[in-house]
Amino acid sequence: MNPTAPRYDASRLHDYACALLAAAGMPDDKVQAVADILIDGDLMGHTTHGLQLLPSYLREVESKSMNVQGQPHVIHETAATLTWDGRRLPGPWLVLEAMKKGVAMAQRCGTGTVVIRQSHHIACLAAFHKRATEQGVMMILASSDANSASVAPYGGLDAVFTPNPISVGIPKTGEPIVTDISTSATTNGLTNRLHQEGGRLPAEWVIDGHGRPSNDPSVLFQEPKGTILPLGGLDSGHKGYGLALTVEALTGGLAGFGRADPKQGWGATVFLQILDPAAFAGRAAFVRQMDEVARQCHASRPARPGRPVRLPGEQGYALAARQGAEGVALHPGIMEALRPWAEKLQVAAPAPL
């Protein structure tokens, strides 16, 4: 993060996002949900999946590719499962609504699973989990987008998958453990940003259209088009490939809508599962075990002096607390990209601190 970047009060950024979305025609309940998740993404340092998404979301609302009215349609429902047609409604709102359903099912049955076809984009997966772990439950969240492809299967050159992230929120004493892992070596958000900025990736996470590894994201935009490598890269990308296929099964497979169907525009297919430890060995027993695992991880001797072992999510929550107090350092270009929308929708932008 750039230490010289201007900082903005988080609540004012939230109000700004709400005002833009409302002026674009989004109802208040959906406005609050989308703004909450986008701001949480920036607070935790996921700058490609925070307010950077807002100009694209506003374009999708304007073009009516993102539907803002109404509710999802129920396709199938049992005591512990629910399948929705999301009707291309705002993804963050759909996931938060699905979490409510999933938690209620888990409290009755021990587990509750919601899959959503034809959701719009759901933003930062890590931003959702604390809302579940604060209720003492564990959540698994995964998404794919059958409307695009940027990741080739291991050993191939032609893209089949999106980065297909999968994330897990695990309750323990204090802040939860939160993993948020793309099944590819990097994300579309980062490669697009670096391509626009003329930057390079930290390692050879992409291959060009001839199969040569590269750290230059521009190979994804040249002919023949390159692809993002599966997680593990050329060395052990079969592992990321297997995870990508797993996410396809959890999302498109269970939802019955995916790569076998016509493309309908930028969006997501979502898998969400809530597990209530109370229905297994009990919440106290669960937390006791996870606290000890966390203790042992923290106690592991650091491979590099001065860099102690962290738990997944730990850095993000610490950053969120710091930025909540000191202001959010937005990635360069985000406020500039929102300026035309602010002018068009007649919304005043917040001043930096």
| DSSP class per residue in 94-130 | HHHHHHHHHHHHHHHHSEEEEEEEEE-----GGGGHH
Q: Return per-residue pLDDT of the chain as tens, 353 residues.
A: 566 788 999 999 999 999 999 999 999 999 999 999 999 999 999 999 999 999 999 999 999 999 999 999 999 999 999 999 999 999 999 999 999 999 999 999 999 999 999 999 999 999 999 999 999 999 999 999 999 999 999 999 999 999 999 999 999 999 999 999 999 999 999 999 999 999 999 999 999 999 999 999 999 999 999 999 999 999 999 999 999 999 999 999 999 999 999 998 999 999 999 999 999 999 999 999 999 999 999 999 999 999 999 999 999 999 999 999 999 999 999 999 999 999 999 999 999 99
* Chain segment 294-327, per-residue pLDDT in tens: 999 999 999 999 999 999 999 999 999 999 999 9
Determine contact, residues 135/103, Cβ cutoff 8 Å.
yes
* Chain segment 13-57, per-residue pLDDT in tens: 999 999 999 999 999 999 999 999 999 999 999 999 999 999 999
Pairing state between β 111-119 and 81-85: parallel
Pairing state between β 268-275 and 213-214: unpaired
Whole-prediction pTM: 0.96
Helices (H) and strands (E) in the chain, counts: 11, 12
Determine contact, residues 93/30, Cβ cutoff 8 Å.
yes
> What is the Cα–Cα distance from 327 to 298, expressed in whole angstroms?
29
> What is the Cα–Cα distance from 141 to 119, expressed in whole angstroms?
14
> What is the Cα–Cα distance from 169 to 177, expressed in whole angstroms?
6
**Helix 334-345 × helix 10-23 angle, to 10°:** 40
Give the burial class of 259: count Cβ atoms within 10 A of its Cβ; 0-12 exposed, 13-18 middle, 19 or more buried. Answer: middle
> What is the Cα–Cα distance from 31 to 28, expressed in whole angstroms?
5
**Could you tell me which CATH class the domain 7-185+229-292+311-345 is placed in?**
alpha beta
Of 8, 3, 313, 272, nearest to 178 by C-alpha is 313
> What is the Cα–Cα distance from 3 to 236, expressed in whole angstroms?
35
Of 29, 51, 26, 32, nearest to 323 by C-alpha is 51
